[in-house]
Chains A and B, each alone.
Chain A
Amino acid sequence: MPELDAVDRQIIDKLQGEFPLCERPYAAVAARLGISEDDLLMRLERLLADKVLTRFGPMFQIERMGGAFVLAALAAPEARYEEVTALVNALPQVAHNYRREHQLNMWFVLATETQDGIGAAISRIEADTGLAVYAFPKEREFFVEMKLEARV
């Protein structure tokens, strides 16, 4: 894993939300962090290239726009794991995908613009892989605040 310095950690910790809506937002953030705008932009480029950050931008709640986010899982045979990963990841509707230790060893989130899109994506994955997909739509959300401070 790439080494992070104190400024990188500040960027990761302070920039997980509330990015300013003004003409020069990076300049505003850089001033708060006590670095130059160019330095901030270079560091963000590096953090993204090194995959310390997976993205930088708005996080959309597609459900509020008539779409759907659904957690789903399947049990991929070990011998076919890579092939199944490639088939599942090929769908643009697959927003995230994690390998987990369980008989259901592949857990992914489908994000679609319409409710119907979920069923279509699941059918497609089942047809492409020949494996059953379990869907776990959220029935109730108690809490979501995915902000973790850098620990390294």
Chain B
Amino acid sequence: MDEIDRALIVATQGGLPLVLRPYEVIAGKVRISETEVMTRLKSLLDSGMIRRIGAVPNHYAIGWTANGMTVWDVADEQVDRLGAVVGALSFVTHCYRRPRALPAWPYNLFAMVHGSSRDECSAKAEEIRLLLGDACRANDILYSTKILKKTGLRIGG
């Protein structure tokens, strides 16, 4: 990544312009050609620096009103194998291993589940619990009750 890529991030992190030729508008801001904007975005996508280009919906507004962060205390020697299994479930949108913060926080595996109701989320959590079996010592589900902020990355211009 060079200075021009960085300038491209600053120019697009707030979103793409909603105009007929959005890449031309970005090109004007970054002072490169429209073609170069597209080429650079393509290589940022190919290298994984951009995960994807598209719309980010507000879950609540599109009917996913129950959003639960399921958290699990899984035996250290099994968490990587089981994390991969949980991550492969079709209804899990994010799955990570994270450090515990003892004694306040004993959980080391995090998996996000979504539904139209809390019952739907807890049924999904129950599927995860069955998969984890005895390797799981404790678990919880933290429902989100409000989006306080959702702007995404903002680096300085």
B-binding residues in A (CB < 8 A): 1-2, 4, 9, 11-12, 15-19, 21-27, 37, 41, 44-45, 47-48, 50-62, 64-67, 71, 85, 88-89, 92-104, 106-108, 111, 113, 134, 136-152
- CB within 8 Å: A-B pair count: 248
Contact A51 B61 (CB under 8 A): yes
Counting contact residues on chain B (CB < 8 A from A), the size range is: 35 or more
Please name the 7 residue pairs, one residue from A and one from B, whose CB atoms are nearest each other, closest first. Answer: A151-B63, A142-B87, A143-B87, A17-B52, A152-B63, A97-B148, A97-B149
Contact A136 B61 (CB under 8 A): no
Contact A143 B95 (CB under 8 A): yes
Q: Does B114 contact A (CB under 8 A)?
A: yes
- Complex formed: what's the CA distance from A18 to B62 in Å? 20
Q: Which residue on B lies nearest to A47, using beta carbons?
A: B55
Q: Which residue on A lies nearest to B108, using beta carbons?
A: A139
- 5 A-B interface contacts by CB (under 8 A): A57-B53, A58-B13, A136-B99, A143-B88, A143-B93
Q: What 1/0 mask marks residues of chain B from 96 to 121 whose CB sits below 8 Å from any chain A CB?
A: 11110100110000100010100000
